Amino acid sequence: MAEAMPLRRSLPTKPASHPLLLANIGQLLTLRGKAPRRVPEMKDPGLVEDAAVLSVDGKIAAAGKWKEVAKHPALKAQRKKLEEIDCRGKVVLPGFVDSHTHLVFAAPRLVDFEKRITGASYEEIAAAGGGIRSSVEGVRKANVKALAERALAALREMAAQGTTTVEAKSGYGLEAAAELKSLEAIAEAAKRWPGTMVPTLLGAHVVPREFLGKPEKYLREVTEKMIPQAAQRKLARFVDVYCDRGAFGLEDAVRLFEAATRHGLGVRAHVCQLTSTELWPLLRFQPASFDHLDHVVDEDIPQLARRGTVATLLPGANYFLGLEQYPPARKLIDAGVAVALATDYNPGTSPTPSMPFVLSLACTHMKMTPAEAIAAATINGACALGLGASKGSVEAGKDADLAVFEVEDYREVPYWFAAQRCQGVVMGGRYFPGGGR
């Protein structure tokens, strides 16, 4: 697929007017080179010590050993305007790309949370009237402004943890007006947040109550109303589908992907979260990403390894649902699949804004190394959004989106779990201490 056009920054988030130098960096992780990263490159974070990063007009002008960066002509020419951040004893890496979030919802689902604690499963709770459908009424009633405010608060929490690019899905409106309203809220939040957002239409999350027993009819709402309108109004870059037991089937997903493709939108899918689904019928649409993959069929893995489709693993959901099994990261990575990690931020299965926590889960429960987890959360996340050419690594010409961590060794990023070690982020060449909260 062609590079996705993310929603652009606008006031008060215009690109930096002055150059920015991150100086004296203890460890810089560049992640430069081939993208997406697979084995063996995934194990190499492109570490440079005694490093610096210079950004001019929102783009990286030079990055690497300080001795090299120091030669850049802009340093001398713009000396007076230069803003300098001292990163002595710190780690700098590409800002995290959180490539899977359900950013727009109206309220947490605390009843589901308590029911699960007393033994009910995610699917039992959904069948009893909780789950995704119980988030719908709140979104239908809310106005764009309220939804955007809530989204913006979450984006700030994400940035405080090192995230600078966020994919944001609709999916709790489940009728054309409320799905488009959710996408408008994403566009509104994107205008006000200095990071980058990629909007996704997830009209096919589940069949809403009023269409129960008539899934075909609801699918037509998605393919004939939501997809054309979202495309025409440029409110979405991708179409997603929840393809699993209790949601949509493989044939439904094919129809959605056909409609998305007809309207020039990219595709991605929630697959194999609860049950196994064959992936080959969807592969011909060149999905940017398959997400969850807990129950991926072994025979599909070599197919995935040969393609550009990224496998996005979401261990926050396994953690929050209290599951013993986690997505099979080792099997996928060792077979050569490009693996990404994302939060799956949502009110039902993964209410966390924290990429560092997700990295920690990936290391402790999925046996990914810290270097693999960081590659999955940066350059591979960027590729999962079609943004591999502009995001996810620290290389001249790319967007100046960076995270500064108050740790001496990059392996401490996933090591200190549920901690707050992110000092600040650079988004579009501007430095935001504390992520701008």
Answer for which of 27, 55, 101, 135 binds ligand NIG (CB under 6 A) is 135
Site for Fe ion in 323-382 (CB under 5 A): 344
Q: Across the strands, what pairs with 346?
A: 350
- Binding segment for ligand NIG among 44-52, 82-90, 301-309, 345-353 (CB under 6 A)? 345-353
Site string for ligand NIG, 240-279 (x = CB under 6 A): --x---------------------------x--x------
Residue 303 Cβ vs Fe ion, minimum distance, rounded to whole Å = 22
Q: Minimal CB distance to Fe ion: which residue?
A: 344
CA distance 105 to 182: 8
Site for ligand NIG in 278-317 (CB under 6 A): 317
CA distance 341 to 200: 17
Residue pair 27/92 in contact by the 8 Å Cβ criterion: yes
Q: Count of residues binding ligand NIG (CB under 6 A)?
A: 13
Partner whose binding site includes residue 242, from Fe ion, ligand NIG, none (CB under 5 to 8 Å by kind): ligand NIG
Tokens representing residue 254 in the block: 């094919």
CA distance 217 to 232: 22
Does 348 interact with ligand NIG (rule: CB under 6 A)?
A: yes
Residue pair 103/188 in contact by the 8 Å Cβ criterion: no
Does 132 interact with ligand NIG (rule: CB under 6 A)?
A: yes
CA distance 282 to 12: 40
Does 421 interact with ligand NIG (rule: CB under 6 A)?
A: no
User: Is the CB of 20 or the CB of 311 nearer to Fe ion?
Assistant: 311
Exposed/middle/buried for residue 70 (C-beta within 10 Å: 0-12, 13-18, 19+)? middle
Does 346 interact with ligand NIG (rule: CB under 6 A)?
A: yes
Does 347 interact with ligand NIG (rule: CB under 6 A)?
A: yes
CA atoms within 13 A on the CB side of 338: 21
CA atoms within 13 A on the CB side of 69: 26
List Cα–Cα distances, 36 to 124, 219, 289, 372, 378, in angstroms: 38, 33, 12, 12, 10
Residue pair 237/8 in contact by the 8 Å Cβ criterion: no
User: Is the CB of 85 or the CB of 241 nearer to ligand NIG?
Assistant: 241
Does 184 interact with ligand NIG (rule: CB under 6 A)?
A: no
- Binding segment for ligand NIG among 45-53, 341-349, 365-373, 397-405 (CB under 6 A)? 341-349
Question: Where on the chain is the footprint of ligand NIG (CB under 6 A)?
Answer: 102, 131-132, 135, 242, 270, 273, 317, 344, 346-349
Contact residues for Fe ion, defined by CB under 5 A: 344
